[in-house]
Structure 1
């Protein structure tokens, strides 16, 4: 049950981080590092990142960022698959 609340929280936090970074970009201020956005995505904020990219139209045109995001999601899927296989073997 705690994992559900964690995922909800990290999803919201990641979404807000994308929005905050977009706002900083529009105002010409110092922005969040891409690594921060990618780490938030990796630790469970994948849906927040996808919603943030779509809703704020932020980072969607930056191909290198999108490639890194795809890599993060691929690693997440691989880890989920490995954990599922490991836990079901026991």
Structure 2
């Protein structure tokens, strides 16, 4: 396997784990009425590759599941990212 592909896979795993943890931290802070992580930050995590971790965390932690911009937005980001991956691999390979 090409080294760039390995690095990319490690990156995706890392950013998805980070997104999952950060959603959990934000949920805990919400319950304790403490300082929160901004919604913009949560969306940026999804946009930079953590969309699957974000989606899983939303439903495991029951966090942001009442916010339509997350319920619709995160799956749209996943679809966009999958489309881009298919196009990139189609043109590279």
Q: Is the 8 A contact 1:38 1:72 kept in 2?
A: no
Question: Could you state the TM-score of these two structures normalised by the residue count of structure 2?
Answer: 0.80
- The match for 2:3 is none
Answer with 12-21 or 70-79: which moved more: 70-79
Q: 1:53 to 1:63 in 2, by over 3 A?
A: same
Could you list the runs of 4 or more consecutive aligned residues of structure 1 that deviate by over 2 angstroms after TM superposition? none
Counterparts of 1:33 and 1:10, CA distance in 2: 17
Query: Cα RMSD over matched residues?
Result: 1.5
User: How many residues of Structure 1 are paired with residues of Structure 2 in the alignment?
Assistant: 88
Gapped regions of structure 2 (runs ≥ 5)? 1-5
Superposed, 1:1-90 pairs within 5 Å as 1-88=6-93
- Return the alpha-carbon distance in structure 2 between the equivalents of residues 50 and 65 of structure 1: 9
The separation in 2 between residues aligned to 1:14 and 1:63, in whole angstroms, is 19
